[in-house]
Amino acid sequence: MKELSKEWLELFEKENIYKDIESILKKIKNYENIYPPKEDIFRVFKLINPKDIKVIIIGQDPYHGPNQANGIAFSVSNEVKAPPSLKNIFKELKNDLDIDHFKNNDLSNWVRQGVFLINSCLTVEKGEPNSHKNFGWDVVVTKILNEINKNNKDIIYCLWGNYAKKIYNSFVYKENEKVIFSAHPSPFSFKRGFENSKPFSKINEMLKNINQDVINWEY
């Protein structure tokens, strides 16, 4: 966390977020069996400052397979095979904007352009999905997003699935007209509302309407 920018550290000082994070990290006894690797737990925060966030996409918890989670929701490194949800995101990107992203699994460049891909739980036990869901990460992430919302009324939310919607509905500060909602990109719900939802073009249209630079989803 010492590598984070002054802006993030100042935000974390508010609402006791910093202390909450320290309390959660103390619950992790052995980082060798935790994903993402210790140095990547806060990676998404290292790639962008709060004031530069334009779009927020909420994931649930990190991938629990070896070498998958890299600190960015839905993203994995290019050394591993894309998980099903990420493949489906790329399928819809191809359908929506005719962009082929299948050879680049790392979504760092989306984050650098303003797309904050944040999981509501930042750590997971190897091979055990949702194993850290009761650690308090959801409370911390909700506090962080509330602070971002408070300072920027133009944030666009792209909510994939009911879990992301539940997190959004718990916010104190929110602008309901800047929300895109669809089913989750997982194989269980891809055909039930994510396919043909066209989130990427919708986000860019919203950004144009508020005179912001659009996202180049190709990178």
User: Is the peptide bond preceding residue 129 cis, with omega within 30 degrees of 0?
Assistant: no
Are 203 and 92 in contact by the 8 Å Cβ rule? The answer is no
Q: How confident is the model at residue 123 (pLDDT cuts 50, 70, 90)?
A: very high
CATH number at residue 198: 3.40.470.10
Q: How confident is the model at residue 52 (pLDDT cuts 50, 70, 90)?
A: very high
Indicate whether 215 pLDDT > 90: yes
Indicate whether 209 pLDDT > 80: yes
The yes-or-no answer on residue 61 being catalytic is: yes
Total number of domains constituting the chain: 1
Are 96 and 201 in contact by the 8 Å Cβ rule? The answer is yes
Answer yes or no: is 1 within a domain.
no
Indicate whether this model's pTM tops 0.75: yes
Which range (14-18, 121-125, 198-202) has the least confidence? Answer: 14-18
Answer yes or no: is 94 within a domain.
yes
Answer yes or no: is 219 within a domain.
no
- Which structure tokens are listed for 50? 């709060």
Task: Render pLDDT for 173-190 as a digit per residue (tens, 0 to 9).
Answer: 887 789 999 999 999 999
Q: Is 126 helix (H, G, I), strand (E, B) or coil?
A: coil
Answer yes or no: is 164 within a domain.
no
Phi-psi region of 68 (alpha: psi -120 to 50; beta: other; left: phi over 0): alpha
What pLDDT does residue 217 have?
98
Please state the rounded mean pLDDT for residues 106-117: 98
Answer yes or no: is 174 within a domain.
yes
Answer yes or no: is 62 within a domain.
yes
User: Is the peptide bond preceding residue 36 cis, with omega within 30 degrees of 0?
Assistant: yes
Which range (21-30, 60-69, 72-81, 173-182) has the least confidence? Answer: 173-182
Answer yes or no: is 114 within a domain.
yes
Q: Count the Cβ atoms, other than its own, within 10 Å of residue 177.
A: 7
Q: What's the distance, CA 145 to chain centroid?
A: 11
Domain assignment of residue 84, given as a range: 6-152+170-209
Indicate whether 167 pLDDT > 80: yes
Answer yes or no: is 34 within a domain.
yes
**Mean pLDDT, the chain, integer:** 94
DSSP state of 216: -
DSSP element (H, E) containing 59:
strand 55-59
What pLDDT does residue 121 have?
96
Helices (H), the chain: 6-13, 17-26, 43-46, 84-97, 108-112, 137-151, 162-169, 199-209
- Which structure tokens are listed for 103? 């050879």
Catalytic member of 52, 61, 96, 213: 61
Counting DSSP H helices and E strands in the chain, the numbers are 8, 6
Of 104, 99, 98, 29, residue with least CA distance to 72: 104
Are 30 and 157 in contact by the 8 Å Cβ rule? The answer is no
Are 119 and 107 in contact by the 8 Å Cβ rule? The answer is no
What pLDDT does residue 177 have?
82
Between strands 34-35 and 124-125, the pairing is antiparallel
